[in-house]
Amino acid sequence: MAFSTDQLAIMDSIIARYPKSRSAIMPLLHYVQSLAGYVTAEGIEAIAEKLSLATAEVTAVSTFYTQYQSEPVGEYHVGICTNTLCAVMGGDAIYEAVSEHLGIENHGVTPDGKVSLERIECNAACDYAPVVMANWEFYDNQTVQSVKDLVDGARNGNPPAPTRGPSTLRTWKENSAVLAGLPDGLAGEGVSAGEPSKLGLKISRGNS
């Protein structure tokens, strides 16, 4: 893909945030992903040129972190945690049921391009196991049926709201732009940490 003058200017504005330009690799990768839906070869080349780096250096970052996709994903990318605690609490059963429900496997995309599926090692929210993320928004304490409702709603263009965070689920590209540091105006919506997440803090304060 060719980048417009405005898009290149946004890349420059992202780079300008950092004392060392190389630090902009990750947000720039998110920005490229917000445009194409995944990290393209052209995007890697543009980032490398902007930062005066070898394309191999940018590629190394894009392939190290699982949040970057090297192939197109769905408009709603659903990651089901199947690490130990989530698996025991139902994550494995959720993954198998939803995979069968959608007719796709790990990293598969539905024929309509609406939903893709990924088996996630950890969503960093064990206190709400089993946890699912859609476009990096949290869906806590999930069941087979609730995740089927999530993916069906996404395919119909009306996904349920995340259990924490914004009151609407934004698309993969929209949330990639947020991760690049482009505000969507929704930062103040919802709660980011619920009572289970803050319990340890309360106990430690009570014992201090």
pLDDT digits (tens, 9 = 90+) for 18-73: 999 999 999 999 999 999 999 999 999 999 999 999 999 999 999 999 999 999 99
Give Cα 69 distance to the centre of its chain: 10
Structure tokens at 128: 């709400």
pLDDT for res 185: 80
CA distance 195 to 127: 10
pLDDT for res 206: 79
Alpha carbon of 11 to those of 14, 24, 29: distances in Å? 5, 9, 10
Kindly provide the b/e burial profile for residues 59-92, where b requires at least 16 CB atoms within 10 angstroms of the residue's own CB. Answer: bebbeeeeebbeeebbbbbbbbbbbeebbebbbb
Tens-place pLDDT, residues 113-164 = 999 999 999 988 899 999 999 999 999 999 999 999 999 999 999 999 999 8
Q: Is the pTM of this model over 0.85?
A: yes
Tens-place pLDDT, residues 76-106 = 999 999 999 999 999 999 999 999 999 999 9
Lowest mean pLDDT among 134-148, 176-190, 192-206: 192-206
- The domains of the chain, with CATH numbers, are 5-64 (1.10.10), 76-171 (3.40.30.10)
CA distance 31 to 58: 14
Under DSSP, the state recorded for 57 is: H
